[in-house]
Amino acid sequence: MSQPPPQERSATVSFTQAELDYLATQPLGRLATSQPDGTLQVSPVGFRYNAETGTIDIGGHNMAASRKFRNVAANGRVAFVIDDIVSTSPWRVRCLEIRGTAEALADGAGQLAGPTIRVHPRRIISFGLQPGDVDREPHTLKADIRNV
């Protein structure tokens, strides 16, 4: 196997392998943005992890006209989360939250042809994603929080 080019390797270092695996399993994320007047907005979005740039790329129907796209163009503030319920008894939720900055790309990006929101991670918070976590008592789990 050949080595990936250096820029790919450094771009993907932000996420652990467990986080990358988890990103690949979830069909829907939720993106929070901030309107110019400071009120918040949050909505479900399809997404792709872009291994070349180390970003979360978000496309979708009518993206350019959407409130979230205009919010990102205005101030670049975003938070993004994926999660799922592992069990309801005990109540066990896993999640991966990404706080960062984003670009509103009018001409598409990577594998996405249309207007795209590209999220650059600055802080990653993952919870319940370590291999042994599912066997631990939920209230004893600690989030893995780090700046990237």
- Of 79, 105, 109, 119, the one binding a copy of itself by CB under 8 A: 79
- Of 5, 21, 44, 87, the one binding a copy of itself by CB under 8 A: 44
112: which DSSP letter? Answer: B
The answer to the question of residue 28 lying near a copy of itself (CB under 8 A) is: yes
5: which DSSP letter? Answer: P
DSSP string, 44-90: EE--EEETTTTEEEE--TTGGGSHHHHHHHHH-EEEEEEEEEEEETT
- Of 9, 10, 46, 148, the one binding a copy of itself by CB under 8 A: 46
Q: Find tokens 């080019």 and name the residue.
A: 5
Q: Which amino acid is at 75?
A: N
Q: Which amino acid is at 132?
A: G
Strands 29-34 and 40-45: antiparallel
The answer to the question of residue 80 lying near a copy of itself (CB under 8 A) is: yes
The smaller minimum CB distance to a copy of itself, of residues 2 and 147, is found at 147
- Of 2, 39, 89, 147, the one binding a copy of itself by CB under 8 A: 39
Q: Which stretch binds a copy of itself (CB under 8 A): 11-19, 77-85, 103-111, 113-121?
A: 77-85
What residues form DSSP beta bridges with 38?
none
The footprint of a copy of itself (CB under 8 A) covers 27-28, 30-34, 38-44, 46, 61, 77-81, 83, 85, 88, 91, 93, 95, 97, 99, 125, 138-139
